[in-house]
Structure 1
Amino acid sequence: MSNVFTLINPQTGNLAFKLLPFDDNSHFDHLQRNNYFSLIWVTKGKGKVKADFAEHHFEENSLLAFSPYQPFMLCVSEPIEGIAIHFHPDFYCIHYHQKEVSCNGVLFNNVYQPPFTRITSEAAATFKMVLDQMKTEIQNAELAQYELLISYLKIFLITASRLKNEQLEEMKAVPDSKEPFILQDLKDAIEVHFKTKHSAGHYAEMLNISAKALAKLSKNYFNKTLTDLIAERIIIEAKRELYMTNKTIKEIAYELGYDDEHYFSRFFKTNADVSPQLYRETVGFGKMVN
């Protein structure tokens, strides 16, 4: 499809920002591991998204969100159409701007929820308007082009994050979809202890439940094993540290509870399909405050 708009960072040669309209699944029908953030708005069609360790069904008018090097692919049951926004952390870093857009842990890096948001007609109208502005601006190489594109991207991210939060609140209010209290305790325990406790058994012991029962609950509600949840949480923190700080890989490994840097690097590569060093080289690290 024509009308693909791309900005390249002249300093690094990395993709900075891209708008990609699509009218089939050819871009996403194979495993993706990109060094940028992706927002994929599916306006028509439906299918399954495979992301990290889980599979989820999505319908038309879904916004899918993926972080750098998060593995994903789409398997469609009805042909899809829509538009994707790709942006590199050097172009806009959601970690630096967490207070402004609050999308980290909501749209992106939310290990407990499917990686998509259902788009309402109101949000769709906002997205359409913002995307039209982006298309106009990306063709305009005037001064402050980046600043305006980032402003539109922020509107898009804030709209989507608010919507996802609303949907999460609605889910909590529906009796049938309520998570057992123990799963909230599990999430809290992982947040507090993931740097020091890496095995599923630790959490079962802590929550006073059998490992088997906790494993079953985790699989039923999160569509992931408990081991996968813990691994994913560690990888998200490792990626954040690699990007946000200039700590050595050995220091990051140690802070995440790994005495052996090589063991940590193998664990990271197994889960992110890229070495910590290459992640830092291609995603960057806090070099450019936006």
Structure 2
Amino acid sequence: MSSQNVFTLINPQNGNLAFKILPFDNNSHFDHLQRNNYYSLIWVTKGKGKVKADFAEHHFEENSLLAFSPYQPFMLCVSEPIEGIAIHFHPDFYCIHMHQKEVSCNGVLFNNIYQPPYVQVTEQAEQTFNMVIDQMKAEIQNAELAQYELLISYLKIFLITASRLKTEQLEEMKSVPDSKEPVILQNLKDAIELNFKTKHSAGNYADLLNISPKALAKISKNYFNKTLTDLISERIIIEAKRELYMTNKTVKEIAHELGYDDEHYFSRFFKTNADVSPQMYRETVGFGKMEA
């Protein structure tokens, strides 16, 4: 792949990647574990295989758009050669937490621990994506006034289109009788969302839902392809990452809010799951404290 097809913007303040468009015609970029300090959107236009992300494995088909958050571990194992295009962007370039009201992709495309990390691209979405990517490429080569603002506008169109698509596909799945989620699944999701800061063990949730730990473990594995402990850990880590990025709270304060009295235990837990320490995460992903 010729490097002139790759379009990259570097943050002049720190030399970090700000924004990148990377066409690919093989799996060499993704065939080893990735833990990047930026968001990745990987549109596989040809080929198929398996994506390993966090604690689970999922099959993806041709024309899938995969979405990963900073330091979310993932790799692709292909069964048919893949081609496509990747868009990488750093939170300092565009922070999905800060602009949640504008694009609503957090919890849908990104940081959605209950669904596979991809969406199937329709013909209509494909047209939009291609048009937007062409505009982005042209803009990266055009260092005119308000270049970043225009690129962010195109990125928003891409993210909104993908988020709407995923929301539609999730709604369709719910309306198919065979794939109806048992009520217990929704109850489990609700219980995790309400209690992850105070209840960290699988047994806590079995008690809350009045079901045996073994039965709940089986349901979690069948439907989410993850253990219940993995789900809870992922949810805590997502919140910790958000706090590290969005606030100036100390690691000790964040640990305490997430139910950990021992800051060092929490830091080890974070590093095990995110591969970097909380401090390193803050230093490399950036610090987007909202203005008071």
Shorter-chain TM band: over 0.9
| Matches for 1:33-44 after TM superposition, within 5 Å | 33-44=35-46
Contact 1:62/1:116, CA 8 A, preserved across alignment: yes
Residue 208 of structure 1 is matched in structure 2 by 210
Q: Which one of 174, 177, 180 corresponds to residue 176 of structure 2?
A: 174
Moved over 6 A (4+): none
Q: Which amino acid letter does the alignment assign opposite residue 105 of structure 1?
A: G
Q: Distance in 2 between matches of 1:256 and 1:287?
A: 19
1:192-203 map, 5 Å: 192-203=194-205
CA distance in 1 between partners of 2:269 and 2:85 (Å): 34
In the TM superposition, residue 172 of structure 1 has moved relative to its aligned partner by: 0.4
Aligned: 1:49 with 2:34: no
Corresponding residue for residue 185 of structure 1: 187
Match of residue 272 from structure 2? 270
Q: Where does residue 152 of structure 2 map in the other structure?
A: 150
> Can you give the 5+ residue segments of structure 2 that lack an aligned partner in the other structure?
none
Once the two structures are superposed, residues 119-155 of structure 1 have per-residue CA deviations (whole angstroms, 9 ceiling, x without a partner) of: 0000000000000000000000111000000000000
Q: CA deviation at 1:287?
A: 5.4
3-state SS, counterpart of residue 153 of structure 2: helix
Counterparts of 1:14 and 1:235 in 2: how far apart (Å)?
23
Secondary structure in 2 matching 1:43:
strand
Paired AA for residue 50 in structure 1 = K
Distance of 2:181 and 2:108 partners within structure 1: 17
How many Å separate the matches in 1 of 2:178 and 2:196?
29
- In 1, Cα distance between the equivalents of 2:199 and 2:16? 36
2:27 equivalent to 1:25: yes
Could you say which residue in structure 2 is the equivalent of 1:227? 229
Per-residue deviation, 1:89: 0.2
Contact 1:92 1:150 in 2 (8 A): yes
Percent identity, aligned pairs only, is 89
Taking the aligned partners of 1:180 and 1:209, their CA distance within structure 2 comes to 13
Q: 1:9 is matched by which residue type in structure 2?
A: N
- State the partner residue of 1:133: 135
Q: After the TM superposition, which residues 90-105 of structure 1 pair with which residues of structure 2 at under 5 Å, given as runs? A: 90-105=92-107
Unaligned regions of 5+ residues in structure 1, if any? none
Aligned to 2:253: 251
- Go from structure 1 to structure 2 and tell me whether the alpha carbon gap of 1:37 and 1:263 turns closer, same or farther (over 3 Å shift): same
Alpha-carbon offset, residue 285 of structure 1: 1.1
SS of aligned partner of 1:235: helix
Q: Is the 8 A contact 1:50 1:56 kept in 2?
A: yes
String of CA shifts for 1:47-103, please: whole Å, max 9, x gaps.
000000000000000000000000000000000000000000000000010001000
- In structure 2, C-alpha distance between the alignment counterparts of 1:229 and 1:288, rounded to whole Å: 28
Pair 1:7-2:47 in alignment: no
Deviations 1:166-189 (A, max 9, x none): 000001001111111001000000
**Residue 13 of structure 1: CA displacement?**
1.0
Q: Distance in 2 between matches of 1:287 and 1:227?
A: 30
Q: Is the 8 A contact 2:247 2:290 kept in 1?
A: no
- Matches of 1:59 and 1:274 in 2, distance apart? 31
- Asked if the contact 1:90–1:288 (Cα under 8 Å) also holds between the matched residues in 2, the reply is no
**Counterpart-to-counterpart distance in 1, 2:80 and 2:49:** 7
Q: d(CA) in 2 for partners of 1:288 and 1:6?
A: 27
Q: Distance in 2 between matches of 1:193 and 1:288?
A: 25
Does the aligned pair in 1 maintain the 2:39–2:89 contact within 8 Å?
A: yes
Secondary structure at 1:152 match in 2 = helix
Equivalent residue pairs, number: 289
Paired residue for 1:70? Answer: 72
For the Cα contact (< 8 Å) 1:111–1:233, is it kept in 2?
yes
- TM-score, normalised to structure 2's length? 0.98
* 2:119 corresponding residue in structure 1: 117
2:158 is paired with a residue whose SS is helix
